[in-house]
């Protein structure tokens, strides 16, 4: 199919700053996290991310957030915002992300695409898929 690109790639979390600010220890609570990611593959660059965390109990929960990605997608340079949604538990983080329409700059002004990943707890990097 013309215009479709699906590739296995990697990303690495290079910085993580989490703050839980309301709720019961090991129970329902909320917080936020700021992260930095390094992407290689079809997405090649770095992103700064901010997310809201909702813990249901212990270390399980969900998060939503946004990343400002700077680099290239499929060799086209620019920036885009990626919208993220995740679920997490003691074993892994399962995530999805998508390019937010209208946020691209440079050659990414009309960028589209979405991806997913599974990151094992304790690992700082994993593979991701991306389809544009």
Q: What pLDDT, on a 0 to 100 scale, did the predictor assign at position 24?
A: 85
Does 3 reside within a domain? no
107: helix, coil or strand? Answer: helix
Measured distance CA(105)–CA(110) in Å, rounded: 8
Does 1 reside within a domain? no
Number of domains observed in the structure of the chain: 1
Does 122 reside within a domain? yes
DSSP E strand boundaries for 1-132: 6-23, 29-40, 43-57, 60-73, 76-88, 92-99, 114-120, 125-131
Domain that holds residue 111: 8-131
Give the rounded distance of the alpha carbon of 16 from its chain centre.
12
Cα–Cα distances in angstroms (integers) from residue 51 to residues 23, 56, 74, 86, 89, in the given order: 17, 16, 26, 10, 16
pLDDT in tens, 74-98: 999 999 999 999 999 989 999 999 9
CATH number at residue 74: 2.40.350.10
Query: Model pTM?
Result: 0.88
Does 26 reside within a domain? yes
CB neighbourhood size of 25 (10 A): 8
Q: Which parts of the chain have pLDDT scores under 50?
A: 1-2
Q: What pLDDT, on a 0 to 100 scale, did the predictor assign at position 5?
A: 53
H-helix or E-strand spanning residue 74: none
Q: What pLDDT, on a 0 to 100 scale, did the predictor assign at position 27?
A: 85
Measured distance CA(115)–CA(106) in Å, rounded: 21
Q: What pLDDT, on a 0 to 100 scale, did the predictor assign at position 99?
A: 98
Q: Cα-flanking dihedrals φ and ψ of residue 27, to 5°? A: -125, -160
Q: What pLDDT, on a 0 to 100 scale, did the predictor assign at position 1?
A: 40
């Amino acid at each position: 199919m013309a215009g479709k690109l699906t590739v296995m790639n990697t990303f690495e979390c290079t910085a993580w700053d989490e703050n839980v600010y309301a709720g019961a220890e090991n129970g329902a609570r909320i917080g936020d996290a700021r992260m930095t990611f390094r992407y290689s593959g079809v997405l090649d660059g770095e992103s700064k991310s901010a997310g809201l965390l909702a813990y249901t109990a212990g270390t399980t929960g969900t998060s939503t957030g946004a990343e400002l990605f700077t680099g290239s997608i499929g060799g086209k340079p620019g920036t885009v915002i990626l919208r993220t949604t995740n679920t997490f538990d003691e074993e892994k983080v399962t995530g999805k992300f998508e390019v937010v329409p209208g946020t691209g700059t440079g050659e990414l002004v009309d960028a589209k695409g979405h991806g997913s990943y599974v990151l094992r707890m304790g690992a700082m990097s994993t593979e991701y898929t991306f389809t544009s």
